[in-house]
Amino acid sequence: MSNHHRSVKTAATNCLISVPHLWSRVVLGAGLSLLCMTAPAKDWPQWGGTFGKNMVSEEKGLPESFVPGEKDTVAGQIKLETAKNVKWGVKLCAAIYSTPSVVNGKIFIGGRDPGLGLLLCLDAKTGQVLWRWQGPARKVATYIDGFHIGIGPNPEALGVCSTPFVEDNRVYFVTHSFKVMCLDANGQPPGPEAGQARVIWEFDLWDKLGVFPCDAVNGSPLIDGDLLYVQTSNGVDRNMGPAKELQRKFPAPDAPNLIVLDKKTGRLVATDDLRIAGSILHGQWAAVSLGKVAGRKQIYFGGGDGRCYAFEALSSVPTTPAKLKVVWSFDCIPPEYRSFGGLDAVSHYCLGDKRTRDTLNKNDGTFVGESEIIATPVFFKDRIYVPIGRDPEHGRGRGAMHCLDATKTGDITRTGRLWTYQGLDRTLSTVSIADGLLYVCDVGGRLHCLDAETGQCHWVHETTSTVWGSTLVADGKVFMPTPKGLFVLATGKEKKVLSQINVGSTIYATPVVANGTLYIASRGGWLWAVSKSGTE
């Protein structure tokens, strides 16, 4: 089979698709070249677990299913006598979109309560909240300099979406009020403020850089030495639709897309110099990853313009703000996706949203058009694995999954592609790679198993749902979050469904595993700690 696999309409070439049966019932993420930088083996200290962001854990002994149990809504706890393979389950807040980090016996997770964004610290053994950070969303005017501002209620509705990076008793995350924050992992000491967060420093993206996020502020930081890298979520004015496409505005065209802070002080030490505002399609939500190629570290960023960028990592903390150097870039939008049928590019993009007046999108996976990068580029064995996608609210549409040679330089659009798979829909999902196989889910609710070396498709599983999260591979299992609950499949070239668990609410957050326990967060604000031993 050719390395350039294509899909027509809804099926991946040579792949088997089936509707789910409701049964009754990681290789290290960054690869050998990053062993010197991996976190403690059993903790999960950052988005993706490791610097390469491969959604894989080496944990063993995880259950293939669990019974969530009956919810005691008064006590905010799961009735454990009604659950199976559950250590504890707790109601934390009104909603959770954040994926947790787990370090040194503590869980750190973002959330939302009415009018407030939250960052909670829990005891991993009991689920008890040890301390909490909370704050209101930034109040943004309806109009600014003639712009009809569209971000409005979205940050307040979503709360803290960022996944924290936890290191050396410090917790780094991005708030829904456009601030990068550093907190003490132990919270306030005993006394009148016990149970509250202790702020070490904060950096305001809006006040200091003029960053204008689109829809959500979801930067998940990455730390290398004393340097903190985070994308800014800078984007377009979301209120601009097809009726206004020729006046589409970029409220902050000169704001950076990627910044670097001194992790000790919060001082700005570097920014990108891409100047891609005129090419941004919607927003910029892809977290960055890190890899080492030929002994040199690189930072990988999925741009809102549909290009994947590799930057030269800083070797030390600059004394004055520097500009990040681009090592290579790759246009992830296939050329044939830019055939607009006589329309201009912006109009075609806007009409690819199923909700738009006069939409061209039938929401059946056949719409072909431009998409940005929302998934995190995964570094694995000198390769980058990155798909393209759009906000699931835009509906289904043709996606593309790329494998790139990370050793190249310059514009590698023609020279750096190892394979491309086009048998999937748009996707937000970061991939999982284990034992030579790649797992990725798409907006259309399908899980694809590919050969990581060639891109050949082995199988596709259909869930008939809309997927916002990413897969997690651990203990020979693929955990896939969906609005219909958690799907669990066996890893391997032959498809085998193990279970489907309904937790009573949509699951947007990606599951994580640490110290023998699987953590599942629901949109309804509940968090489960799952293990074979349960409460034993």
pTM of this prediction? Answer: 0.91
Residue-wise pLDDT tens for the chain (536 aa)?
A: 444 443 333 333 334 333 333 333 333 333 333 433 444 448 999 999 999 999 999 999 999 999 999 999 999 999 999 999 999 999 999 999 999 999 999 999 999 999 999 999 999 999 999 999 999 998 877 666 666 666 767 888 899 999 999 999 999 999 999 999 999 999 999 999 999 999 999 999 999 999 988 888 888 999 999 999 999 999 887 665 545 444 467 888 899 999 999 999 999 999 999 999 889 998 899 999 999 999 999 999 999 999 999 999 999 999 999 999 999 999 999 999 999 999 988 889 989 999 888 899 999 999 999 999 999 999 999 999 999 999 999 999 999 999 999 999 999 999 999 999 999 999 999 999 999 999 999 999 999 999 999 999 999 999 999 999 999 999 999 999 999 999 999 999 999 999 999 999 999 999 999 999 999 999 999 999 999 987 65
Q: Is 50 exposed, middle or buried (0-12, 13-18, 19+ CB in 10 A)?
A: buried
- Residue 62 counted as domain residue: yes
The residue type at 11:
A
| 520, HSE (Cβ side, Cα atoms, 13 Å) | 33
pLDDT of residue 148: 61
Residue 74 belongs to a domain with what CATH number? 2.130.10.10
How far apart, in Å, are the Cα atoms of 329 and each of 34, 266, 305, 325? 22, 28, 11, 11
Domain range spanning residue 121?
Answer: 4-530
Interatomic CA distance for residues 458 and 474, integer angstroms: 19
pLDDT of residue 347: 86
pLDDT of residue 266: 99
The residue type at 501:
I
pLDDT of residue 199: 98
Domain count, the chain: 1
- Residue 173 counted as domain residue: yes
- Residue 60 counted as domain residue: yes
pLDDT of residue 217: 86
- Residue 535 counted as domain residue: no
- Residue 249 counted as domain residue: yes
DSSP 492: S
pLDDT of residue 10: 31
- Residue 536 counted as domain residue: no
Residues, the chain: 536
